[in-house]
C-alpha cells in the first residue's frame, strides 16, 4: 500500500495541529493556576494592609516572594509533566520583567502617592495581560481591559474603600481569569 504525498502532508498537518493545541492547553492550564495564585496573594495582601497599614512593606515583600516561588514551582511542575522537552518561548516573561522594571523607574521618577502606586502597579500588570493577549489569546486582552476598568472605577469612585475594592478586584479578576483560562484550555 502506498501513501499519496498529499495524504501524508495532510496527516502531518493534522498531527502538528494536535500538538499545537496540546501545548496551548498546557500553557492555559498553567497560566490559569498562576493567575489564581497571584489573585489570592494580592487580595490577601490588600486586606491585611488595609487593617495593618504599618505592615505594608513586609506584607507585600512576603506576597511577592510567595507569588514568585509559587510561579516558578508551577512552571517547573509543568515542564516535568511534559513528555517532550519543548523549547520555551520566554519573550512574554521577558516582556513582563521589562514592563515591571519600567514601572519601578516611573514610580521613582514621578514620586506618586501610595494610593496612586496601588492603582498604577496592578494596571501595569493588566497592560501586560493586554499585550500578552496579542501573542497568546484574546482572553488575556479581555482580562486586562476588565481589570483596568475595575481598578479605575475604584480609584476614582470609592475613596476610603479603595484598598478593599482592590482586594476584591484583584482577587476576583485574577481567580476568575485563571479559571477561565483553564476552561479555555480544556475546550481546545
Separation CA 135–CA 92 (nearest Å): 8
Decide if 169 is inside a domain. yes
Decide if 139 is inside a domain. yes
Separation CA 103–CA 101 (nearest Å): 5
The whole-number pLDDT of residue 186 equals 63
pLDDT in tens, 41-100: 999 998 998 898 888 888 988 998 898 889 888 877 777 766 655 565 566 667 777 887
Decide if 74 is inside a domain. yes
Decide if 4 is inside a domain. no
**pLDDT band for position 149 (cuts 50, 70, 90):** very high
C-alpha closest to that of 173 among 46, 8, 74, 61: 46
What domain range includes position 55? 12-187
Decide if 150 is inside a domain. yes
The chain-wide mean pLDDT, for the chain, equals: 80
The whole-number pLDDT of residue 178 equals 84
pTM over 0.85? The answer is no
Decide if 67 is inside a domain. yes
Q: Who has greater pLDDT, 153 or 30?
A: 153
Structurally, the chain folds into a number of domains equal to 1
Q: Is the pLDDT of residue 135 over 70?
A: yes
Decide if 121 is inside a domain. yes
Give the Cα-Cα-Cα angle 58, 125, 87 (nearest 5 degrees): 105
Tell me the C-alpha to C-alpha distance, in Å, between residue 8 and each of 15, 16, 17, 20, 22: 11, 12, 14, 18, 21
Decide if 2 is inside a domain. no
The whole-number pLDDT of residue 30 equals 75
Amino acid at each position: 500500500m502506498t501513501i499519496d504525498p498529499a495524504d501524508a502532508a495532510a496527516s502531518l498537518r493534522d498531527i502538528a495541529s494536535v500538538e499545537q493545541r496540546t501545548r496551548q492547553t498546557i500553557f492555559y492550564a498553567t497560566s490559569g493556576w498562576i493567575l489564581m495564585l497571584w489573585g489570592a496573594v494580592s487580595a490577601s495582601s490588600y486586606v491585611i494592609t488595609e487593617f495593618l497599614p504599618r505592615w505594608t512593606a513586609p506584607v507585600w515583600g512576603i506576597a511577592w516572594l510567595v507569588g514568585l516561588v509559587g510561579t516558578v514551582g508551577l512552571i517547573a511542575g509543568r515542564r516535568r509533566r511534559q513528555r517532550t522537552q519543548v523549547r520555551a518561548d520566554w519573550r512574554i516573561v521577558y516582556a513582563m520583567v521589562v514592563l515591571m522594571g519600567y514601572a519601578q523607574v516611573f514610580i521613582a521618577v514621578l514620586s506618586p502617592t501610595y494610593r496612586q502606586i496601588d492603582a498604577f502597579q496592578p494596571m501595569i500588570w493588566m497592560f501586560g495581560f493586554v499585550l500578552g493577549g496579542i501573542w497568546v489569546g484574546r482572553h488575556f486582552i479581555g482580562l486586562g481591559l476588565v481589570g483596568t476598568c475595575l481598578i479605575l472605577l475604584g480609584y476614582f469612585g470609592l475613596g476610603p474603600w479603595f484598598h478593599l475594592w482592590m482586594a476584591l478586584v484583584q482577587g476576583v479578576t485574577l481567580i476568575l481569569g485563571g479559571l477561565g483560562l483553564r476552561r479555555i484550555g480544556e475546550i481546545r
